[in-house]
Structure formats: C-alpha cells, structure tokens
Amino acid sequence: LVGRVAAPTAPEVYGPAVTDPVRSCFARNPTGALYAAVNALATTTLPDAPRLLAEDLGAEGPGRDAALAQLPTDGSTVPADDADAQVQVSGFQFLSYTEDETVIDVAVLGVSDGQALDAHTAFTLRWERDDWRVVHTPEGAPFSAIQLLPSMAGYVPWSGT
C-alpha cells in the first residue's frame, strides 16, 4: 500500500526501484509508465502529496511551477484529502504512448462517505531525468479533473497488484 491505495511493484523489471521518499525509478516502457501512473495516483493519498508530486515526481514546466507556487511557504505539511476515502484502481487505458510521453486514463472505484463511485482521470507522464515524471495541468494539478465513469468499456480491467 501507498497511503490508502494498492500500488504495483516489480522493482527488477518495471519499478519502482526507489521507494523513499516517494516511489520512483520506473522502466522506460509502457508497463513502467503504467506503474508510475498508478504509484503517482497512490501518492495523492499521502500527507504532503502536493509537495511530493511537484517537487519529487513533477516534470519541468509551467504546470509544475504553478503547483510549487501553491505550496505553503512556511514549510508546513499539506494534510491528505478526505482521510476516510478509499480508492482502488479498477482499470486503465493508454490514450497515447511514445518513449518520451504517455497519457494513461486510470479508472478507480472509490468509497467516500459509504458510497461507492466509479471515476477516472488521465495522467500525462514525460520521460525526464531518467524517470517518468508527472506533467501537471496548467493550473498545477497532477492529473486531469476526476470524472464519474458510467462504464468500464474500453478499459483494461485491473485487480490486485
């Protein structure tokens, strides 16, 4: 588990080869990118997630700059959002893939306030500094807006790690 999310690990093949302070060092192939995306999603459930995602996992650019500008300047920790929420990855689909950049749509089954919800969000990852890095949106978010998912059609099912 990373925070409250089961995240995949195959350190000798796909990654992460490094797990402290965050999971990093993924293979430069589609499975390595997928593992990086799911581990980034899991990182969002950790205390100080915005700082970890921007400083440690963020790709260079204006989105990362916006994310860094939103962090507390007094060194305080940003608490995890909705500490009672549970999220489990339920599927994925590659929207695009090259050796340098990929977009992966991740479907999740979430439980918040006792209600189960299927949702999805897309992660853009760029190969930078010898690893897959999260490309933040122009507003500084680590992934696109989370949307409800009416159907798992088109997604590769995901269960376990």
Each residue's pLDDT tens digit, 52-80: 999 999 999 999 999 999 999 887 877 66
Is the Cβ–Cβ distance between 98 and 29 less than 8 Å? no
- pLDDT for res 8: 94
What is the pLDDT confidence band of residue 110, given thresholds at 50, 70 and 90? confident
Coil, helix or strand at residue 107: strand
**Would you state the pLDDT for residue 27?**
98
Query: Cβ distance 94 to 123 under 8 Å?
Result: no
Task: Provide mean pLDDT across the span 8-26.
Answer: 96
Which of residues 61 and 110 earns the better pLDDT score? 61
Burial class (CB in 10 A: 0-12, 13-18, 19+), 102: buried
25-52 CB burial, b ≥16 within 10 A, e <16: ebbeeeebbbbbbbbbbbbbbbebbbbb
Mean pLDDT score, 108-121:
83
| pLDDT for res 17 | 97
Q: Is the dihedral of CA 26, 83, 81, 116 positive or negative?
A: positive
> pTM above 0.85?
yes
Which range has the worst mean pLDDT, 26-30, 60-64, 117-121, 136-140?
117-121
Cα separation, 16 vs 148, in Å, equals 29
Q: What per-residue confidence (pLDDT) applies to 85?
A: 63
Q: Are strands 101-112 and 86-97 parallel, antiparallel or unpaired?
A: antiparallel
Cα–Cα distances in Å, from 105 out to 85, 119, 146? Answer: 20, 10, 10
Is the pLDDT assigned to residue 19 strictly greater than 70? yes
